[in-house]
Amino acid sequence: MRHAEVRIVGQGLAGTLLAWACESAGIRFHLIDAGHRHAASRVGAGIINPITGQRLVKSWRVDALLGPAEVMYRAIERELGVPLLRRLRVRRELRSARERDIFAAKRLTGELDPYVQRLPGEDDAFRIEPAFHLDLPLLIHASRERWRQRGALSERLATAAECAGSDVPTVACLGAGEVPLRRLALERVKGELLHLEAPAAGASPLPPAGGGPEIRNDGHWLLPLPDGAWAVGATYDRTALDLEPSSTSRALLMTSASRLGEGVEWQVRSALAGWRTSAPDLRPVAGWLPGRPGQGVCNGLGSKGALIGPWLAQQWVEHLCDGRAFDPAVATDRVGLQL
Ligand SMILES: Cc1cc2nc3c(=O)[nH]c(=O)nc-3n(C[C@H](O)[C@H](O)[C@H](O)COP(=O)(O)OP(=O)(O)OC[C@H]3O[C@@H](n4cnc5c(N)ncnc54)[C@H](O)[C@@H]3O)c2cc1C
C-alpha cells in the first residue's frame, strides 16, 4: 500500500464517504471538521434522480455509478444500523410543448432507457425509476458519532499547514470552504429548499397511484421525507453572496409546492440554504493539487453529490492503495480548472 494513512479535512458528504471507503480498505484516517454550520450536506435533499433538468438529461455516468452507490450506502447502513437509503420513483410532469417534444424524441431513440416508463393514459407525465432518497443529515451525524467515539475526529477548524498536507497526506473535502476555491476554478451556487408539513398531521396529501413513496417533479421537486414531512426545492442562485433563506425563494418554492401538491395548504417547518460547488465543466474534482503531492482535494459535487460521492471516494482509495490514476474527467490537472 502506498499510503497507509491519510488526513481528511471536512466531514460533509465527500469527507464522510472518503472516510468510509478508507475504513473498508484498511487505510488509517483522521478527520478534522469544524462543524456542519455551513455544510451543503446539512441542507441537501439527497435525491438521486437518473433523469434531470428541463432537457431531460441522463445524470452524468448514472448507468455506471448508480449500482455501486447503492452498494456503498447499503454497506454503511449495515455498519451504522440506521436506514439511510430509500428507493422511490419520480413522477415527472411535462409542463410545456417543448418538454413534451424532448421527451418524445428521446424516448424514440432509447436515450433515457432503462429509467423511464410511460404512464398509461397520460401524455403530460412519465415515471422515472429507480430513484433514491439518501438521508444526508442522518448519514453525516451517525458517521460523526461513530468516529468521535473512536477518536478518529477532531472537531475544529483545520490549520493552513494541516490542509497543505506537508506532514500527512491530506484530502480537503471542504465544499465551499476557502482552500480549494482559492486554487481551483470552483464556483459557489446558493440553493434553497423548504421543509413542509401538511395541515392534517400524518395524512399524506398525495397517495401515489400503485403505492410506494413518489417524488413529484416538474422542474422543482416535492419529496416525501421519512418522518412524514415534505421538502420542496431547489433554487439556484449564482450571484448570491449570503446563506440566508430569502423571501423571494420562499415565495417561489411555495408556489411550486402548491402546484405539485395539487392545492395542499402547506405549513413551512423550516427554510434551508447552502452552497453547492461546481467546476466550469460541471464535473467533480478529485486528486492532488497540481505540483503539490500530499495536498489533495475532493470537491465540486454540485447537485449530484449523493450519486457521485461514492465513486469519488473509491477513486481516492484506489489511488491511495495502488497509485491508480484518477479518471481524467475528474483529475485536478484538467483544462480549465486551474485559476
Ligand atoms: C439546496 C440544495 C439542495 C441539494 N439537493 C441535492 C440532492 O437532492 N441530491 C444530491 O445528490 N445533492 C444535492 N445537493 C448537493 C449536495 O448537498 C452536495 O453535493 C454535498 O452535500 C456536498 O458535500 P461536501 O462534502 O462536498 O461539502 P459540505 O457538505 O459543504 O461539507 C464541507 C465540510 O467541510 C468543513 N470545513 C470547511 N472548511 C473547513 C476547515 N478549514 N476546517 C475544518 N472543516 C472545514 C465544513 O464544516 C463542512 O462540514 C443539494 C445542495 C443544496 C445546497
What residues have CB less than 8 Å from 124, skipping those under 6 apart?
93, 94, 95, 100
Longest dimension (CA), the chain: 64
* Residue 37 pLDDT: 86
177-190 mean pLDDT: 85
289 Cα to the center of ligand 1, angstroms: 20
Domain ranges, ordered by start, for the chain? 5-46+135-186+280-322, 188-276
189-193 mean pLDDT: 97
C-alpha separations of 72 from 49, 76, 95, 233 in Å: 17, 6, 35, 26
What atom of ligand 1 comes closest to residue 15's alpha carbon? 25
203-220 mean pLDDT: 75
Ligand 1 pocket, 88 CB below 6 A?
A: no
276-282 mean pLDDT: 95
- Return the H-helix or E-strand segment holding 153: strand 153-155
Listed residue (125, 165, 129, 156) closest to 29, CA to CA: 165
* Residue 206 pLDDT: 63
12-46 pLDDT tens trace: 999 999 999 999 999 999 999 999 888 999 999 99
C-alpha separations of 285 from 14, 221, 279, 302, 337 in Å: 11, 27, 8, 10, 9
What atom of ligand 1 comes closest to residue 307's alpha carbon? 11
By residue count, the chain amounts to 339
Ligand 1 pocket, 59 CB below 6 A?
A: no
Q: E-assigned strands of 185-334?
A: 187-197, 214-217, 221-224, 230-233, 267-278, 285-289, 292-299
Global pTM reads 0.96
231-242 mean pLDDT: 95
* Residue 231 pLDDT: 97
46-86 pLDDT tens trace: 999 999 999 999 999 999 999 999 999 999 999 999 999 99
Q: How far apart are CA 194 and CA 247, in angstroms?
A: 12
- Ligand 1 pocket test, candidate residues 18, 33, 312, most atoms within 8 A of CB: 33
At position 116, the amino acid (one-letter code) is V
Helices 136-149 + 13-25 axis angle, to 10 = 50
Listed residue (10, 274, 57) closest to 162, CA to CA: 10
* Residue 209 pLDDT: 54
Q: How far apart are CA 162 and CA 54, in angstroms?
A: 42
* Fold annotation for 5-46+135-186+280-322: FAD/NAD(P)-binding domain (3.50.50)
Greater model confidence, 328 or 206: 328
Instruction: Indicate the DSSP class of residue 263.
Output: T
Cis omega (within 30 of 0) for bond into 172: no
Count of CA atoms in the C-beta half-sphere (13 A) of 305: 31
CATH of domain 188-276: 3.30.9.10
Start-to-end Cα distance in the chain: 33
Closest Cα to atom 4, ligand 1: which residue? 44
